[in-house]
Structure 1
Amino acid sequence: MLRDILLADSPALSRRDMLFGAAGLGASMLLPRSIRAGDSAPPALREPVDFSSPETNLLGYVRLIGDVSGKPSYGWGHGRVFGTRENELAKLLFDYQSCRLVEFRKLDDGSWAQGYRGLILFTDPESGRVIDGFRNPFTDEDNEVVHFRTSFGASIFSVDGPRSLAEFERESPTEEGPFVMPWTVIGDDVWATYDERIAYRRPDGEWRVDNAVYRYHGYLSELTDPDNSAPYHDMMWSTELNWFTYMRMGDIPGHIMWAGMGRKYDRLDALPEVFLAEAERRYPGFLTTPIRWEEFDL
């Protein structure tokens, strides 16, 4: 676990640094799972909760993913990245850590605008160091690594489903309404599955396919609590997509397979300190710059 959390690409970490890093992560994991709102009561699900209703799904998703008071939320994750070919065991490529900054704003028509910015840093599975290259197990060649940065983007979520404001050629069955997700409820435990399969054309003309599925776990008592603007969630995520371009795989059959997990925090400084330091060193201000809503006509 510690190997997956601590990033040691910049100055070498002493054992004392590692112990403090582990202690800091432990403290962040002990934070209360409820994230409280301000004075005004935010919208909450009403009991008995009808998860077959698009209205319930819309509000439930927004509450589970972000903060209905308009404050930012930070989704942190970590996991592994594999390459796989038909009828072969998958080969481990590298690990990753990620952060996704999310804000929601309610619009006059009852829909919600989601603003976001995301960062994924790829790491060595053994040392936990952020990597700039790796040995491709399929070609036995050294490849560079391009870390993922999603500059400010926005989507509109309504009872008719999600709609990206980005202007590019794409296909996605998830943008076809009504907006109803699979939910499972056992006592106070709630699980929701968000399907984010999409095919799109890159600026260089390449057609890409990303079959992503997010599985969120939260608590019904928090989703229905009007004093809680941002109910807790933990998350598992998996996706399959084309080979990374920098792997230089050409027409070799196969694809990338990701698997990861994480949770939502209400403060950026609740994330592992070494991850934040590495993100700031490589991409100054990327995770701390506020969402620029004025860039979109909402």
Structure 2
Amino acid sequence: MQKIKSIFFINILLAFVSMDNLNAFELKPGKDSLDASRKITCSMIDDKPIVYWWYGRMYSRVQGERDKLLFRVEGMNIRACTSIKDPERGQGFKMVSRELLFYQDPNTGEILDEWTNPWTDETVEVLHVANDPVNWGSNYEMDKNGKPYEMNLSTHGDDWWDTSTIPLFYNNPLGGDFQQYVGGIYHATEMFNTTGSLSNLMDDSKDTAKANIGWERISYWLPWMKMSGRNGIVYFHTFGKKLESYNDLPETIKKEIKENYPIY
């Protein structure tokens, strides 16, 4: 199972920014951009839990047949940031997180324990995604080359957005020692869209920024589906947002976490 990785390397221009909020910090390279990145990622308050939540669907694609809706999917990531300092690069922060993704019945939305494979008729155990940890590297006011930290946002009016495409290609832990010869290398792509409001992001009275997220993924069959090397791929299409608190998660998700994933 792959870790969902959101990357915010952000560069922004102030030409579109409203000056109505006189207390707002400007998104200049260095500390201001670092603070904005942290507010998107988590919170300016050390160790404050921040929750992202998303939902959508997973489909199959096999040459010569119609795509099948296999599952609804619903996920969450709970994270926190901590302030750090480097003698040469200045103030910074690091993030730690855990995340879950549940496979659900495509009609009822019920979280599944078993699934009957429509190609093989075999009933298999469903292995939900439980990534612990999902941590990022540290960010500082100065980058590794001694230049002020910058962000890479697109903007229009009061809107900002970040689009990240992450191709994945590496030796599969399940594939043995001869993948370069006989195949089996892990190959997938994850695509992220993150959006929000510039005026909200730049409001220095807020410790965190509102953000909406889109996550798409293309990969070969999931190992637990037991497809035995059959032709085909799966793709995920989801959307979600940063929540006000953990309590805003759907009740079904909170119940599943309480019963089976209490550390989350």
Fold agreement, TM-score > 0.5:
yes
Confirm whether residue 286 of structure 1 aligns to residue 256 of structure 2. no
**In 2, Cα distance between equivalents of 1:254 and 1:180:** 40
- Aligned residue runs from structure 1 range 1-298, under 5 A: 46-47=25-26, 49=27, 58-70=34-46, 71-86=48-63, 88-109=65-86, 110-158=91-139, 183-205=153-175, 207-283=185-261, 285-287=262-264
Query: Does the 8 A contact of 1:91 with 1:137 survive in 2?
Result: no
**In 2, Cα distance between equivalents of 1:193 and 1:228:** 24
Which region of structure 1 is more displaced relative to structure 2, 100-109 or 82-91?
82-91
Q: CA deviation at 1:275?
A: 1.5
Deviations 1:156-188 (A, max 9, x none): 14379x9xxxxxxxxxxxxxxx98765322221
**In 2, Cα distance between equivalents of 1:242 and 1:179:** 36
Which amino acid in structure 2 is aligned with residue 190 of structure 1? W
**In 2, Cα distance between equivalents of 1:85 and 1:281:** 36
Deviations 1:53-101 (A, max 9, x none): 5876654332112112121100111111112234654221111111100
Q: CA deviation at 1:258?
A: 0.7
Query: Does the 8 A contact of 1:45 with 1:56 survive in 2?
Result: no
Give the % identical residues.
Answer: 24
**In 2, Cα distance between equivalents of 1:241 and 1:59:** 34
TM-score norm. by structure 1 comes to 0.66
**In 2, Cα distance between equivalents of 1:89 and 1:253:** 14
Which amino acid in structure 2 is aligned with residue 195 of structure 1? T
Q: Relative to 1, partners in 2 of residues 1:62 and 1:213: Cα closer, same or farther, differing over 3 Å?
A: farther
TM-score norm. by structure 2 comes to 0.74
SS class of match (1:155):
coil
**In 2, Cα distance between equivalents of 1:183 and 1:280:** 37
Cross-structure match for 2:14: none
Unpaired stretches in structure 1, ≥5 consecutive residues: 1-43, 163-177, 288-298
Which amino acid in structure 1 is aligned with residue 58 of structure 2? V
Query: Does the 8 A contact of 1:45 with 1:60 survive in 2?
Result: no
**In 1, Cα distance between equivalents of 2:133 and 2:81:** 13
SS class of match (1:112):
strand
Cross-structure match for 2:19: none
Q: Relative to 1, partners in 2 of residues 1:95 and 1:198: Cα closer, same or farther, differing over 3 Å?
A: same
CA RMSD of superposed structures (Å): 3.1
Which amino acid in structure 2 is aligned with residue 101 of structure 1? I
Unpaired stretches in structure 2, ≥5 consecutive residues: 1-22, 177-184
**In 2, Cα distance between equivalents of 1:100 and 1:78:** 12
